Amino acid sequence: MISRRSFLASAAAASAAMPLPAFAATQTSTKLPKKFRPQVVKVSKEYPAGEIHVLTDDHFLFWTLGDGKAMRYGIAVGAPGRNFKGVAEIRRKAEWPSWTPTASMIAAEPQVYAKWRNGLPGGHEKNPLGARALYLYQGNRDTLYRIHGTPQPWTIGRSFSSGCIRLQNAHVEELYEHVPLGTRVVVY
């Protein structure tokens, strides 16, 4: 069983970035601190290629490349107590997805979410899903958590949302192209 601690230990060399392979690592969005910019980092060779590992406390998402390497992205996550933790699978992907707040989001913060109860179309400037969304499932059950873009790129490195994992739009577009349906996602 992979733990957050073992993943952190294997990614300890993450600050020693390596040259990028076939990733564009676009930097055209809001300027991020260097540590949150996409970069290839070393991880333990025990992590197979093609998995996503999310360290919510550290605000990083890792797409494992195999051979002890991973692409690391800076992320924004949910406010304390609002994050998904566990193992899931990507069962759906969408470009410019529409968005509707959940009933629990509306109940918890009606002043923020009630006005959007009928949803927002993809591409709307207020749609929090941004350019792409990867939908997390456990079995046949939609967890209602997503890995997605954000129209608020300055939030990368922060914990404030309703719980989804957010990347800059350019970065989620890049990740979206590499991640197939059925990808295993581990959120620590």
Question: Is position 136 within any domain?
Answer: yes
Instruction: Give the pLDDT score at 33.
Output: 95
Q: What is the CATH number of the domain that holds 45?
A: 2.40.440.10
Question: Is position 1 within any domain?
Answer: no
Instruction: Give the pLDDT score at 17.
Output: 44
Instruction: Give the pLDDT score at 111.
Output: 96
Question: Is position 143 within any domain?
Answer: yes
Question: Is position 21 within any domain?
Answer: no
Tokens of 143: 């967890």
Q: What does the alpha-carbon distance between residue 12 and residue 111 come to, in Å, rounded to a whole number?
A: 41
Task: Give the chain's domain count.
Answer: 1
Are the beta carbons of 53 and 186 closer than 8 angstroms?
A: yes
Instruction: Give the pLDDT score at 7.
Output: 72
Which residue positions in the chain have pLDDT lower than 70?
Answer: 1-2, 4-6, 8-30
Buried b (16+ CB within 10 A) or exposed e, 140-161: eeebebbbbbbbbbebbbebeb
* Helical ranges in 75-186 per DSSP H: 103-108, 110-113, 169-178
Instruction: Give the pLDDT score at 162.
Output: 85
Q: What does the alpha-carbon distance between residue 41 and residue 14 come to, in Å, rounded to a whole number?
A: 5
Question: Is position 101 within any domain?
Answer: yes
pTM score of the predicted model:
0.85
Question: Is position 22 within any domain?
Answer: no
11: left (phi over 0), alpha (psi -120 to 50) or beta: alpha
Its domain, for residue 182, covers: 34-116+124-187
Q: E-assigned strands of the chain?
A: 39-42, 52-55, 60-66, 69-74, 77-78, 86-95, 132-138, 141-148, 159-161, 165-166, 184-187
Question: Is position 29 within any domain?
Answer: no
State pLDDT tens for residues 50-76: 999 999 999 999 999 999 999 999 999
- Residues labelled catalytic: 148, 164
Dmax (CA) of the chain: 48
Question: Is position 51 within any domain?
Answer: yes
Buried b (16+ CB within 10 A) or exposed e, 59-90: bbbbbbbeeebbbbbbbbbbeeebbbeeebeb
